[in-house]
Amino acid sequence: MTRTPITDSHCHLDFSDFDAERDDIVARALDTGVERMVTICTRLKNEPSVRAIAEKYAPVFYAAGTHPMSAAEEPLATVDQLIKIAQHPKMVGIGESGLDYHYTADSADIQKTSLGIHIEAARETKLPLIIHARAADDDMAQILSDAYKQGAYTCVMHCFSSSAALAKAALDLGFYLSMSGIATFPKSQELRDIFASAPLDRILVETDSPYLAPVPFRGKRNEPAHSVHTAQIGADLFELDYDTFAKATNANFERLFTKATL
């Protein structure tokens, strides 16, 4: 039976984990019902190689930015630099940017500066901002809200695994929550409850591959094809059949990532 197509809204196809079989990775995704993938550049010096992957594969689009855990190691991006990159027809989002105080709290100030640059670029380009948030809920909610008051922008909370309070803050701004393999883990009931209480029209699906493989692949290398397992959990949470949930999340993706057209 043919599955209703879904989109893996966040993966890292440039990572060395995939070097030996990138053609097969993309082919398996398509065979499994994942019709489109967004591969994320986390260091702007790598943007040319990430762009090349998007150019090679018709179903692959890309986003670019400086990951918060790299913010202290990389030159600060500029708004103009991100706007220039965004002119490419397959560049569809700004980021991932954000705040990570779990591993890199010592660089909080530079992370905030970098985040502000990415927000302005998202506002100027009208492309969605892709946010990484870990152990920084209060600062994240405050920064996103304060920035929105200065001018509207769109945003997805990638691989959302934070608090109900941050989910509400994001949803109140009209932002989206992206569901990763974490939602399939047995101990993630609190996270599943957060997703289940969110509006269906604000949910995306992703892998964050090669990380965070969903059950039944937990502990193994993740890949875009595995996003169908996360989508099945999402369907169960919303008490929907797979096809209905897939159709809804794909429509959500297309509403947010307006450039990512097949």
Q: What is the CATH number of the domain that holds 19?
A: 3.20.20.140
In this prediction, residue 262 carries a pLDDT of 85
Share of the chain above pLDDT 90, in %: 98
Please check whether residue 151 lies inside any domain of the structure.
Answer: yes
For the chain, how many structural domains are there in total?
Answer: 1
Please check whether residue 174 lies inside any domain of the structure.
Answer: yes
Full-prediction pTM beyond 0.85? yes
In this prediction, residue 160 carries a pLDDT of 98
| Range 187-206 burial, b when 16+ CB lie within 10 A, else e | ebeebbebbeebebebbbbb
In this prediction, residue 44 carries a pLDDT of 97
Please check whether residue 262 lies inside any domain of the structure.
Answer: no
Please check whether residue 160 lies inside any domain of the structure.
Answer: yes
Among 167, 73, 179, 82, residue whose Cα is nearest residue 121: 82
Domain containing residue 242 = 6-256
Please check whether residue 1 lies inside any domain of the structure.
Answer: no
Residues 12-54: tens digit of each pLDDT: 999 999 999 999 999 999 999 999 999 999 999 999 999 999 9
Q: Would the pLDDT of 80 be above 60?
A: yes
Beta strands in 24-66 (DSSP E): 34-41, 60-64
Please check whether residue 261 lies inside any domain of the structure.
Answer: no
Q: Would the pLDDT of 1 be above 70?
A: no
Mean pLDDT of the chain: 97
In this prediction, residue 2 carries a pLDDT of 74
Residues 85-128: tens digit of each pLDDT: 999 999 999 999 999 999 999 999 999 999 999 999 999 999 99
